[in-house]
Structure 1
Amino acid sequence: MGAELIIGIILLVLIVTIVVKSVVIVPQEWAYIIERLGRYHSIREGGPAILVPFVDRTRERVDLREQVVSFPPQPVITQDNLTVNIDTVVYFKVNDAKAAVYEIANYIAGVEQITTTTLRNVVGGMTLEQTLTSRDRINTALRGELDEATERWGIRVARVEIKAIDPPPSIQNSMEQQMKADREKRAMILTAEGQRESAIRSAEGNKQSQILTAEGAKQAAILAAEAERQSEILRAQGRRAALYLEAQGEAKAIEKKFAAIKAGKPTPELLAYEYLQTLPQMAEGEASKLWVVPSDFGKALEGFTRMLGAPGEDGVFRYEPSPDDGTVSKPAEDDGVEDWFDTSSDPEIAKQVAAATAAAQQEVPPVGSDVPPVPGTEVGTGGAASPAQLEASREVPGIGLPDGAQGHPNGQEQRG
């Protein structure tokens, strides 16, 4: 009974072992190389696989996914005899598991060696500057060479990338100094450009300021000249009106005095007395430096009375006034003098003052922009009156006007 139990247990363990040996589960994207009695038999991919126990065995498990292998830095000599260390990364995929196992002993080591050899061949024909700036060219050359060399191994190289290119420390110091010099050069250039731009802007601002100052001075001078001319014209008009009124007053006084003398019928004695009263006043004049009185003063008075009067019955000369016909002489009335006494302001002057005020209150435009014209002025005169306006305003009122035109008291021309 005991021997049978032991035999049964042994058979059960043998059956379990056979089952375990005969069934293999292959993961997805993996390939198992199956050998039978030491020779290649088949390739089993994802899923269960049935093997003959103690006859079939799994030679190699090959990963069919794309693999990434980073190789250590490789020293490479460039065309200008400088040694640089280059790190590379290779992306490849096994397309034929049988070739990857039986055509080469270690395909990863083979890829590394081919990468190093090809890298030295490519970089050896370049200078250091070309190597640092031609990564795409190096990557393309490496991928082409590796893909061609690994095709018989059942491997496809998808991409080759260069991670880093490290030149010697001395070259790195030189490059850093060069880069520092380049940065300082660019900084100096930018600083000079900024100073140049600032100087140009300042010059433009000074130019614009001087132009505006000159325009303002020009406008102020023109307005001052116009104001002086208008004031002179107005003062001349005022003096003309005052002289006219004085002349009228003197004419009225002479008329009244002459009428009073005629109405009083003065005697020669009275006229002689008035003559004597006037002599001191004549001597008081500033222009009178010497006054000569005739020695025969009586005969002079006698001659004066003979001119003014006629001898009477008693032999005395008496003043004979001219016959009074009842008419009173009056000075002739002047036509067209009513406007001399008009005190209203000239509309043209008010218009010019308003234009000057608007120009003074106008906002200063930015540098480089066109100056907008002020209403009532011509473009390009800096806000001053136009030449036609200045020429028209220089006409003196009442003088040199055309036929049918009458001078306005404030200088404005009126036509009938």
Structure 2
Amino acid sequence: MPIPYIVVTVLGVLVLLSSFFIIKQQTAGVIERFGRFRSIRHSGLQFKIPLVDRIAGKLSLKIQQLDVIVETKTLDDVFVKLKVSVQYKVIKEKVYEAFYKLDYPHDQITSYVFDVVRAEVPKMRLDDVFVKKDDIAIAVKSELNDAMMEYGYDIIKTLVTDIDPDAQVKEAMNRINASEREKVAAQYEGDAQRILIVEKAKAEAESKRLQGQGIADQRREIARGLEESVEVLNKVGINSQEASALIVVTQHYDTLQAIGADTNSNLILLPNSPQAGSDMLNNMVASFTASNQIGEAMKEAKNKKKGNDN
């Protein structure tokens, strides 16, 4: 086989193979013939006329994202950087417009984002920028949709993903936030201390009440015991004065015995001689006698008054 024939055969095979090409899924290919638009080809095995048709370019039909950082000033003269994420895609039916009408879609989208953000943010205070970031995103999406639809691009969603004020402003905001938290903490601590004081006062009042009630009950029982002791002594012929004196002397020596038995008690000096007990008894008898005399005098005066009234 002559060499020229082999060369022609090889060239023919290469030309035939170059006539076939593959377009991937979610991709559109633009075919031109002699520099003029011919057709749009979608995913699969495609054919073109060799040396006549060529693939001018391919466009992805997937959703893409462009992040744009815009620096602007708020209504209260605070410089702030906003990061706006724009999600967009090429409309399948408008691949021609997307390929031929717009060379640099990223630059076009970025310009519109700058325009909208710098028109909206200067109307707001810094705090409002954080609160109304969704309103900014909606304004950007609306403006982009109106502009980019003509060029074959659909704006899926716009998001304000970051708001970064000036460093000094952030430091001031952090100080304000810290001061507010310290203020709240101080209020809670004050409320806690107030509750503790109130509860402590209530507990002390209840303790005093119970202590007083206990003392009253103790004295009531002591009085009842003394009354019963006097009644028992009266039954054996001892009058009330003598019985009371005897009880007092007995309690005196019982107290001395209890103090001596308790090793942990502090030293208390009490009269403990027989003469001291005798003096105590004589004083008590004299007191009881005087009390009886006063009582009899008051009774006679009361009866005399009744007689005069009658």
Alignment-derived partner of residue 156 in structure 2: 158
Alignment-derived partner of residue 275 in structure 2: none
Structure 1 position 70, deviation (Å): 1.9
- Cα distance change of structure 1 residues 233 and 83 upon mapping to structure 2, 3 Å threshold: same
Q: Does 1:89 align with 2:88?
A: no
Structure 1 position 13, deviation (Å): 2.5
Letter in 2 for 1:216: G
Alignment-derived partner of residue 228 in structure 1: 226
- Once the two structures are superposed, the pairs formed by residues 193-204 of structure 1 within 5 Å of their partners are 193-204=191-202
Letter in 2 for 1:59: A
- Once the two structures are superposed, the pairs formed by residues 200-349 of structure 1 within 5 Å of their partners are 200-239=198-237
Q: Counterparts of 2:36 and 2:199 in 1: how far apart (Å)?
A: 89
Q: Does 1:24 align with 2:21?
A: yes
Q: Counterparts of 2:236 and 2:53 in 1: how far apart (Å)?
A: 141
Q: Does 1:34 align with 2:31?
A: yes
Give a deviation string over 1:48-81, Cα, whole Å, max 9, x none: 111111121112211111112222x321121222
- Cα distance change of structure 1 residues 97 and 232 upon mapping to structure 2, 3 Å threshold: farther
Unaligned runs of 5+ in 2: 240-310
Name the SS of the counterpart of 1:190 in structure 2. Answer: helix
Letter in 2 for 1:214: G
Alignment-derived partner of residue 78 in structure 1: 74
Name the SS of the counterpart of 1:115 in structure 2. Answer: helix
- Once the two structures are superposed, the pairs formed by residues 65-144 of structure 1 within 5 Å of their partners are 65-71=62-68, 73-95=69-91, 96-144=94-142
Structure 1 position 148, deviation (Å): 2.5
Q: Does 1:146 align with 2:144?
A: yes
Structure 1 position 121, deviation (Å): 1.4
Name the SS of the counterpart of 1:79 in structure 2. Answer: coil
Give a deviation string over 1:358-399, Cα, whole Å, max 9, x none: xxxxxxxxxxxxxxxxxxxxxxxxxxxxxxxxxxxxxxxxxx
Q: Counterparts of 2:235 and 2:9 in 1: how far apart (Å)?
A: 149
Structural RMSD (CA): 2.1
Letter in 2 for 1:127: R
Name the SS of the counterpart of 1:150 in structure 2. Answer: helix
Letter in 2 for 1:184: E
Q: Using structure 1 for the length normalisation, give the TM-score.
A: 0.53
Q: Which has the higher helix share?
A: 2
Q: 1:14 aligns with which of 11, 33, 36?
A: 11
Alignment-derived partner of residue 285 in structure 2: none
Equivalent pairs counted in the alignment come to 237
Letter in 2 for 1:34: I
Flag the structure with more relative contact order, 1 or 2, with Cα contacts below 8 A and sequence separation at least 6: 2
Q: 1:51 aligns with which of 48, 52, 66?
A: 48
Give a deviation string over 1:237-278, Cα, whole Å, max 9, x none: 44489xxxxxxxxxxxxxxxxxxxxxxxxxxxxxxxxxxxxx
Structure 1 position 183, deviation (Å): 2.1
Unaligned runs of 5+ in 1: 242-416
Q: 2:60 aligns with which of 35, 60, 63?
A: 63
Alignment-derived partner of residue 172 in structure 1: 170
- Cα distance change of structure 1 residues 224 and 88 upon mapping to structure 2, 3 Å threshold: same
Q: Counterparts of 1:160 and 1:5 in 2: how far apart (Å)?
A: 66
Letter in 2 for 1:189: Q
Identity fraction in percent? 25
Structure 1 position 187, deviation (Å): 2.1
Alignment-derived partner of residue 296 in structure 2: none
Q: Using structure 2 for the length normalisation, give the TM-score.
A: 0.70
Larger Rg computed on CA atoms? 1
Alignment-derived partner of residue 401 in structure 1: none
Q: Counterparts of 1:226 and 1:143 in 2: how far apart (Å)?
A: 95
Q: Counterparts of 2:5 and 2:229 in 1: how far apart (Å)?
A: 147
Name the SS of the counterpart of 1:234 in structure 2. Answer: helix
Q: Counterparts of 1:186 and 1:101 in 2: how far apart (Å)?
A: 60
Structure 1 position 100, deviation (Å): 1.3
- Cα distance change of structure 1 residues 154 and 226 upon mapping to structure 2, 3 Å threshold: farther
Letter in 2 for 1:137: D
**162-171 vs 50-59, which moves further:** 162-171
- Cα distance change of structure 1 residues 219 and 153 upon mapping to structure 2, 3 Å threshold: farther
